[in-house]
């Protein structure tokens, strides 16, 4: 799949929208969906609408025009004070606009009269952040002028905090805005539809306040897209923080010195670069740069370090792994990085098929729950097939290092023969089967389980142990429940001998696999190359009578209870071998 690209998970965005809408509605606040970070992307805009958001806001009239043209069924708000030169377009394409200059409102009135349209405005108030807004002392005189204008309807008051000055939208600020709104309604006989308290930065205030007073509206963007509040960038419980992933491709991979050599002057952007001398490093160059994305807002998903960038390149220290040319590396994005990457015409925007991806994952989870129930019902008619070591086979295989010393990669006799046939097929394709794991004792499984639990504890220190164990159990069976103990389960990948690398299956970097829902074998939102590679791997095993695991594209079962369930049988031929 082409790079650089942003992979956009519409299902996760939809979940965040629905969750936030319900959260804020619990205290009587409606939200407006802010689309400026995604440049009016109509696929994402439609997700807002499908999840009950009726008003979308953007700071660019061109984005609003685009969404209207592409058939997004919503009301549209211009999120910043209109450009005087764009007043005619604002009236034509935006139902509502935020305003702080009376000269602009007068120009909007002129074109609203000409177009025979009633244009709604929210008057923005300056409450300390020093972004846009009239001073509170000017509220009355400004509203008096607005009310004299034709085809203009004042529908609300609003403010913008934590944007330029980083000023907290706290209880005091929100109460003051509420008081101003009440005073305006009383003095001018108005009913304001919107008392708009701010944006995603208002989350802490909302969660702590006992009385929202008159605040009935917030304009939310970043919390939807990145699952965070914006005062401290802390994750909001229950939201996805990884709806967007930036993917960049390795275009050079070499071992080089960490310290440039020669006389130092300015770099391409006028800076004097500084580097630490840590000796030779695995240094990779990625085909994306400052012209495409705000580099400081990228967080690698793998253990690597960004050490420099030019207009069209990023340089990384890939540490222990020497990535092959063509390898795709993934990054999480800050709001600034998301905004810049979505704006760049050079970054491809790839949205997942929301219904297929969502429904597929839901079906996997449903089948998995049923699978766990059925495991208890399978009768075992042990055929006493012996365990044989693949390492003694002479087959052309690669063995992933095990946590167990002197691990012999034991499998049942029938499985041994099937692996031999698969190996010979791959020999003809200049490829080799990688055996990651085979029969595992309970002690071996216990070690894997405990190591993963310990890793998760370090990675997520705030999670409760029960939640950690639940997360681990999605991909590693507890010691007494692993089908590997039957000798009928094999974990495998494929090595490409011609190109000298582990093939790409969508969630792996070499032998290292990132455990997430893209590990589900037929997940639709993985690159086309990874889909083809999975198809090759799965077909090889299925031709030999194996079944692929529901959640792990690399795990294959034969003869055990998992195999029996997939085949619709009520009995298996392999039971547990404990020793």
The catalytic residue positions are: 36
Cβ proximity of 473 and 466 under 8 Å: no
38: β partners: none
Please give the Cα distance from 441 to 448 (Å, whole number). 11
Please give the Cα distance from 285 to 251 (Å, whole number). 6
Q: Tokens 């103990």 label which residue?
A: 485
Identify the helix (H) or strand (E) that includes residue 414. helix 413-427
Identify the helix (H) or strand (E) that includes residue 14. helix 10-25
Please give the Cα distance from 447 to 431 (Å, whole number). 31
Q: Which long-range contacts (CB under 8 A, 24 or more apart) does 380-385 make?
A: 380/561, 380/571, 380/572, 380/574, 380/575, 381/571, 381/572, 381/573, 382/573, 382/574, 382/575, 383/559, 383/573, 383/574, 385/412, 385/413, 385/414, 385/487, 385/559, 385/573, 385/574
3-state helix, strand, coil split of the chain in percent (to 5) is 35, 20, 40
Please give the Cα distance from 291 to 286 (Å, whole number). 13
Please give the Cα distance from 442 to 445 (Å, whole number). 5
Evaluate the CA torsion angle 459, 359, 48, 528 in order and state its sign.
positive
Q: What is the DSSP letter of 435?
A: E
| 197, two tokens | 């308290």
3-class DSSP state of 494 = strand
């Amino acid at each position: 799949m082409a790079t650089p690209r942003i992979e956009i998970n519409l299902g996760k965005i939809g979940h965040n929208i629905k969750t936030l809408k319900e959260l804020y509605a619990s205290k009587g606040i409606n939200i407006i969906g802010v689309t400026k970070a995604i440049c009016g992307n109509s696929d994402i805009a439609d997700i807002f609408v499908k999840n009950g958001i009726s008003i979308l806001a953007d700071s660019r009239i061109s984005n609003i025009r685009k969404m209207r043209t592409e058939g997004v069924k919503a009301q549209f708000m211009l999120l910043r004070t209109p450009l005087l030169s764009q007043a005619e377009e604002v009236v034509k394409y935006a139902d509502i606009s935020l305003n702080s200059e009376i000269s602009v409102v007068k120009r909007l009135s002129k074109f609203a009269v000409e177009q025979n349209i009633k244009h709604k405005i929210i008057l923005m108030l300056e409450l300390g952040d020093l972004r846009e807004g009239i001073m509170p002392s000017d509220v009355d005189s400004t509203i008096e002028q607005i009310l004299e204008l034709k085809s203009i309807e004042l529908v609300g008051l609003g403010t913008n905090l934590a944007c330029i000055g980083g000023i907290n939208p706290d209880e005091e600020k929100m109460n003051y805005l509420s008081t101003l709104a009440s005073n305006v309604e009383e003095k001018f006989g108005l009913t304001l539809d919107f008392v708009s308290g701010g944006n995603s930065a208002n989350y802490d205030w909302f969660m702590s306040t006992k009385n929202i007073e008159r605040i009935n509206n917030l304009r939310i963007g970043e919390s939807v897209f990145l699952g965070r509040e914006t005062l401290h960038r802390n994750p909001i419980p229950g939201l996805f923080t990884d709806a967007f992933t930036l993917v960049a491709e390795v275009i050079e991979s070499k071992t080089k010195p960490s310290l440039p050599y020669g006389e130092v002057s300015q770099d391409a952007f006028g800076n004097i670069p500084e580097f630490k001398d840590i000796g030779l490093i695995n240094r990779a160059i990625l085909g994306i740069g400052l012209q495409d994305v705000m580099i400081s807002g990228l967080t690698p998903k793998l253990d690597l370090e960004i050490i420099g960038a030019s207009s069209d390149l990023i340089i990384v220290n890939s540490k222990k792994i020497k990535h092959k040319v063509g390898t795709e590396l993934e990054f999480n994005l800050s709001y600034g990085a998301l905004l810049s990457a979505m704006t760049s015409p050079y970054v491809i925007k790839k949205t997942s098929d929301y219904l297929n991806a969502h429904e597929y994952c839901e079906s996997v989870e449903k089948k998995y729950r049923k699978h766990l129930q059925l495991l208890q019902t399978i009768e075992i008619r042990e055929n006493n097939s012996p365990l044989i070591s693949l390492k003694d086979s002479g087959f052309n295989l690669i063995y992933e290092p095990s946590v167990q010393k002197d691990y012999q990669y034991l499998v049942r006799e029938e499985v041994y023969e099937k692996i031999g046939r698969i190996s010979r097929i791959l020999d003809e394709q200049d490829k080799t089967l990688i055996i990651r794991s085979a029969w595992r004792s309970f002690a071996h499984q216990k070690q894997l389980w405990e190591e993963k639990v310990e890793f998760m504890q370090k990675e997520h220190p705030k999670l409760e142990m029960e939640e950690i164990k639940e997360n681990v159990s999605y991909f590693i069976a507890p010691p007494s429940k692993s089908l590997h103990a039957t000798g009928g389960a094999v974990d495998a990948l494929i090595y490409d001998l011609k190109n000298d690398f582990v093939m790409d299956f969508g969630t792996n970097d070499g032998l290292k696999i990132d455990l997430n829902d893209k590990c589900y074998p037929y997940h639709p939102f993985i690159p086309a190359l990874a889909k083809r590679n999975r198809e090759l791997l799965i077909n090889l095993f299925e031709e030999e009578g194996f079944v692929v695991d529901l959640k792990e594209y690399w795990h294959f079962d034969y003869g055990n209870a998992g195999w029996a369930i997939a085949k619709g049988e009520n009995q298996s031929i392999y039971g547990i071998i404990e020793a």
